[in-house]
Chains A and B, each alone.
Chain A
Amino acid sequence: MTTPTTSPPAWWQTLEADFAAFLQTPLRDDGGRFHSGHEAAVTVLPRVHNDDDVGAARRLALYHEQYWMRLFHVLQQAFPRTSRVLGAFTFNQLAGAFLVTHGPRGFDLDDVPRAFHPALQAALDVLVSVGERARTPHGVIHDSVAARMARVEAHHLPVPSWGPVLRRMDLPWSMLAQALSLDEACRRAFEAPASRPWAIADADIDALMTSRARVVVAPSFSIVRVDWDIDIDGLAMPPGGNAVANAAAEDLDDTSTAAPVQHATAWHHVVVHHPEGVRHGVVDAVLARILARVRREDFSALLRHVEEKFPPGAVAHLQHSFAGYARLAAAQGWWVGLTWSRESR
């Protein structure tokens, strides 16, 4: 590749920089909507042709609003549930404050949500670290984002200007956390390699159940526990809950909040990158438990866990059901193969 040998005119370097700085000036959000404030254009306004009814300020405002709305749209698309629980206006306030210091630094627009998630997650982590949950006599937790933020200094947030916005958020912080987790699971699945359905053999299932082998989980696979009605995909809870499922919901996710369930029982969302695209569904609590634990332990350890934690009969239920669950997990691309123990080789 050749390298340009000329230099850009100095006047153009200045104008380009001024124009870009104008675009990146935050929109005003008074009056319940985002709009360009004419004061933002003060540097570039004299450089714009201005001899008609429309006016240079309005022409500049079109570019100004277009820059921000495109980025808001990208983030809303990447975090649809988070945007829904916060409300689009509040979500855009958080997005705007973030983008002031984290403007896009590459041609790939997906860089924007890729950077936004850790920042919002870090803010939620700050809320997690604040105090214990407060329960009412009825067991309902009034532990809103606002209540927790009342105990947080804004400078502890990754984006300090988020403080005033979050202090107005009267929604359970776990709802926000779960929405963000599910959105991020879908986003990460999109970027991870796809996994093909696997026709698991009876011999493979036998090897799993005798702990001679362990499951290889698809790199794109995630499971997210959700207590709230934040679904945007029209999913339905699978039928056939059972005693194990209902008793087991608590320890599936170590970071779960035991926040009040709006669903009758927690929903366990599974996300994977299938060759045809990202697939998202809901599984029952027993399968959710299996899917979560097989990442880190073999079948015998799973049985011991069930034996210790669940009512009599749960072990027999698991042994009876496991083959069916394994075939489903393989067919859906959640499991992609086996890794064999040394003794089995």
Chain B
Amino acid sequence: MRPSTIARDAVGLGLRPVHLAALKEGAAGLGFVEIIAENFLGRSDLPRRQLHDIAARYPVVAHNVSLNLLGTDPLDRAYLRRLRHLVETHRMPWVTDHLCFSAARGIYLHDLLPVPLSSSLVPWAVDRIKAVQDALGVPFGIENASTYLRFADDDMSEVAFLRQIVEGADCQILLDINNVFVAGVNHRFDPLTYLDEVPWDRVLYVHLAGHLTRPDGLRHDTHDRPVDDDVWALYREAWHRGGPFPTLLEWDEHIPPFDVALAEAMKAIAVRA
């Protein structure tokens, strides 16, 4: 029987097809499941049937990658209608997407692309996110994306940009701890300073994931390995600043057996103790 709410200290996993059978059998301690919503809005009915079984056991939240929140193309209203239907069908408590653009001139770029951290872009972002939130009818959160470049005309920090937007749109935050760390290394800022400026009362939940260190020193958000020790340490700092909050592990490449992934997610409980 599925719990009616997600506990503030819950630990969750991103739903991946290779883990379906194990999830249907039941996973002790797993507090919620996150889906990549686009994977359940396509033509095939199979993912939706599979989700039906999972949503009967676990609370499910919808995470998106294609809403194109800061892009300049019109919002995709058909996509938003289908997303709302999915959210209502499975009584999802909230929806999230990234602080990025992901489409331009009618082409979906299927990536989380960086935007200038510019005060003159904030009103546009606020307006778009208000419209999305209104279309979905549930709380909406923005995730800080992993980024590999900054623009020359940036006039504020990422966390200040994020903060201005969520306060202007009166929306929530999905804080990705791994992304804070990755961006901190890639752009030479102190991730602890970032955490100090997070408006914790707006954080719906946090993400954890593994990343790659490239030969050139850039950290690449690959989601293909266990969480880095430095990210666990940052997670502990985040918990002390803003916990409790639900915590979710993403693992998208070289996905291990379910037991391994679940054990990695459950490390969070020991780390923050």
Contact = CB atoms under 8 A, between A and B. Distances in A.
A273 B46 contact: yes
A65 to B, nearest CB: 11
B111 A191 contact: no
Interface residues of B, number: 52
Interface stretch (A66-74, A223-231, A330-338): A66-74
A158 interface: no
Interface of A: 1-9, 11-13, 15-17, 19-20, 23-24, 46-50, 52-54, 56, 58-60, 62-63, 66-67, 70-71, 103-110, 190-191, 193-194, 273, 275, 277-278
Given A16-B104, A108-B43, A277-B46, A67 B110 contact: yes
Contacts of A4: 75, 124, 127-128, 130-131
Interface stretch (B7-15, B25-33, B151-159, B242-250): B151-159
A104 B108 contact: yes
B216 A54 contact: yes
A20 B104 contact: yes
Interface of B: 38, 41-46, 49, 66, 71-72, 75-77, 79-80, 101, 104-111, 113-116, 118, 120-121, 123-124, 127-128, 130-131, 134-135, 148-154, 188, 216-218, 220
B66 A105 contact: no
A107 B108 contact: yes
B131 to A, nearest CB: 5
A63 B148 contact: yes
Contact of A3 (B41, B72, B131, B154): B131
Contact of A54 (B43, B115, B217): B217
A310 to B, nearest CB: 39
Contacts of B101: 16
A16 B72 contact: yes
Contact of A193 (B45, B121, B128): B45
Contacts of A104: 107-110
Given A3-B131, A105-B108, 11 more contacts: A4-B124, A4-B128, A13-B72, A20-B107, A24-B107, A47-B151, A50-B152, A59-B149, A107-B66, A107-B79, A110-B44
A17 B105 contact: yes
- Most chain B CB neighbours (cut-off 10 Å) among A20, A70, A275: A20
A190 B131 contact: no
Contacts of A8: 72, 121, 124
A106 to B, nearest CB: 6
Contacts of B111: 23, 63, 66-67, 70
Lowest 3 A-B CB distances belong to which pairs?
A20-B104, A107-B66, A59-B149
A107 to B, nearest CB: 4
Nearest to B214: A62
B150 A108 contact: no
Contacts of B116: 12, 15
Contacts of B109: 20, 23, 67, 104
B152 A48 contact: yes
Contacts of B110: 67, 70-71, 104, 109
A106 B67 CA distance: 11
B120 A1 contact: no
